[in-house]
Amino acid sequence: MNIKENDVEKMLGKRKYKPDVILPQDEVGIINGLAWTAVGGEIMQMEVSVMDGTGKIELTGSLGDVMKESARTAVSFVRANAEKFGINPSFYKDKDIHIHATEAAVPKDGPSAGVTMVTALVSALTDRKIKRDVAMTGEVTLRGRVTAIGGLREKAMAAYRGGVNTVYIPKENVPDLDDIDPIVLQNVKFVPVTNAAQIIDCVLEKVATDKKTETVYYSEVKRGSNRVSN
């Protein structure tokens, strides 16, 4: 029997599981994180919303203690470098911040979403959109250092399946690229970083200084034949 693509649904029924995919357009405060699970990697989008308030931090999405600590560390790093990122240094006094991880019914823990939270925070506080086709993983310290994570092979496959073009990873994890499927390395660019600040201008839109035109420019990450960049 010759089975065609259109015959699959008739034989097996309606699709029960939807694959993780990137957003249809760039958004402010929404970013693709990468998570490891017992059944493989998946894209976990992180959302940050900023509103007028009194400095409260709300963390939702079934986050474990370690992940909550990562969120607070990310806020402290952004606060310490607010002027560098073009953020009002008093945001911690007159703004409330809500950090949410999607698929709230699924418990989540671990420190590897640190860079994701930092980037989403800067995006939300500066109202700059994040490129929809990038993802990242890495633990962040109070000084912004990006340290090693686990499960890179599974996370990389999730990024590839979801349509991600560029993944930022800790430089310490570069040796783990040897374990990644060749098809993933051919289609996804991996950019090693040592500090979270290295990611910001690469993935967030840039507003032109010429206020007459108010044109928005995007910083570009060059794509080369070698899928690893320093």
Give the rounded percent of residues in the chain with a pLDDT score beyond 90. Answer: 71
Q: Using 50, 70 and 90 to split pLDDT, how confident is the model at 101?
A: very high
pTM of the model: 0.83
Distances (CA, A) of 196 to 43, 81, 85, 178: 19, 11, 12, 24
Interacting residues of 164 by C-beta distance below 8 A, sequence separation 6+ = 22, 32, 43, 133, 134, 135, 188
Spans of all domains in the chain: 26-218
* Residue 126 vs residue 218, higher pLDDT: 126
Nearest to 125 by CA among 193, 57, 32: 57
The dotted CATH code for 26-218 is 3.30.230.10
Question: What is the per-residue pLDDT for 21?
Answer: 80
Higher model confidence: residue 105 or residue 32?
32
Active-site annotation holds for 155: yes
Instruction: List the catalytic residue out of 95, 108, 112, 131.
Output: 112
Task: Please write the tens of the pLDDT for every residue from 55-89.
Answer: 999 999 999 999 999 999 999 999 999 999 999 99
Encoded amino acid at 132, one letter: R
* E strand or H helix that includes residue 35: strand 30-37
pLDDT digits 0-9 by tens, 19-60: 568 889 999 999 999 988 777 788 989 999 999 999 999 999
Tokens of 108: 């989540």
Residue 43, strand partner residues: 34
Q: Are strands 95-101 and 30-37 parallel, antiparallel or unpaired?
A: unpaired
Q: CA 115, 120, 124 angle in degrees (round to 5)?
A: 150
pLDDT at 224 over 50: no
Which 3 state secondary structure label does DSSP give 8? helix
Name the active-site residue from 95, 131, 155, 189.
Answer: 155
* Mean pLDDT value of segment 132-155: 96
**DSSP structure class, residue 63:** B
State the Cα–Cα distance between residues 131 and 24, nearest whole angstrom.
Answer: 10
3-state percent helix, strand, coil for the chain, nearest multiple of 5: 30, 30, 40
